[in-house]
Amino acid sequence: MTSEVFRRLPYAEAEPKALQVLVDGYGEGLVLEGTGGYYGLYYLFGVLGLRAPQPSYPPDWVEGPQADPKGFLPPYQMAHWLEQNGYNLFINESK
């Protein structure tokens, strides 16, 4: 799978395939293996005031590929990084 495929992957399909799950109050980061390495799919549902991910929602952010599956940030740190780098509206608008 490539980043283009991962960008459209709903949470309900991605979660069972996750090799690692990063969880905090901002959301979940799912680490999946794909073409060229590992990808982090970030579902930032906490930013919307939700307590759980919506099964049909695609990820808000996809990072990768990376060589090491342990190199992905937790959701809070990723949200902070996005804000610091000019992504003021980083919630997936296709939802």
The residue-averaged pLDDT of 77-92 equals 79
Phi, psi of 64 (to 5 degrees): 135, 175
Boundaries of every domain in the chain: 3-84
Distance CA 27, CA 45 (A): 5
The residue-averaged pLDDT of 57-85 equals 94
Distance CA 81, CA 23 (A): 16
The 10s digit of each residue's pLDDT in 7-66 is 999 999 999 999 999 999 899 999 999 999 999 999 999 878 889 999 999 999 999 999
Q: What does the pLDDT read at residue 83?
A: 87
E-assigned strand segments in 35-94: 37-43, 61-66
Q: How many helices (H) and strands (E) does the chain have?
A: 3, 4
Distance CA 31, CA 87 (A): 22
